[in-house]
Amino acid sequence: MSFLVILARQWFRCLLMCSLLALQLQQVISLDVCKGEGPRYGDFKCNHDATHRVCANLKDYSGHKVNWGTDNFWQITNQPDWSSQVGADSANPGGGWCICMWATASLIDKVGCDNVHLSCDSTDVSYVLEHYVDGGVNLAPAKACLIQKCGSSMTAAQMSAAQTSLAASNAQRTSSSSDNPSHDDDDDHIGLSVFFLCVGLLSVGFGLAYVFVSRGVVGGEESLPLPIASSISKFEKDFQRYESQDIVMGGAV
């Protein structure tokens, strides 16, 4: 990926983040607790770590597991049944739980948006809209579903920004395949490559500077480490021999 393409993508992301800032500030202040979430976050809200940002309703008010289509959350995800933790904290009763963004996108892909149960007021919608990939999963399905289910609470400007974010995720999803890393990974790889290239060039430069400065200051091969001194001496002798041959051949002609 060329530098200009990376720069254009980063500039676009910057503009998109500014567009979503109002929605994010509003939700940080007004985000409701995820009723049923345990004490791991202290305030029962889905806005703390990098992925558990979606409040999913996994159990009903009677404490029974709800189906997302024909199966419940644990059956669909093939997880061990930890449903006893949902709503177990007396300080926050309910059937909700903060789940991963990537899990949300995967579940929507499997069962469809109409069959998932999300709490819009307790989901960090703006945070999800700002991100493109989570856990190697493209978040386009999650974004589309959040816009469908939670769009009524957005202003026209916020909806426009959300649609732009969704379009960017869909474009990335279309251009990426399961065998290729995401664009974010490309950016990271290019950045790391440039960094290590610079480190390598600097190392070579300092090494050469050390060799020539040492020879210039001390004035002898004996001051250099033996392998380096031997290599330099051999190179000089070979060069002098080839130079002598050129002179002889030049005189003959």
Could you tell me what percentage of the chain is helix, strand and coil, using 3-state DSSP and rounding each to the nearest 5? 65, 10, 25
pLDDT for residue 94: 97
pLDDT for residue 182: 46
All residues at 6 or more sequence positions from 7 whose CB lies less than 8 Å from its CB, including other chains: none
pLDDT for residue 98: 98
β-bridge mates for residue 96, sequence order: 57
pLDDT for residue 11: 54
Helices 3-30 and 156-175 pack at an angle, to 10 degrees, of: 140
pTM given for the model: 0.59
Give DSSP secondary structure letters for 71-114: EEHHHHHT----GGGTT--TTS-SSEEEEEHHHHHHHHHHH-GG
* Regions of the chain short of the pLDDT cut 70: 1-29, 175-253
pLDDT for residue 204: 57
pLDDT for residue 147: 92
- DSSP-assigned letter for residue 35: T
pLDDT for residue 21: 47
pLDDT for residue 246: 47
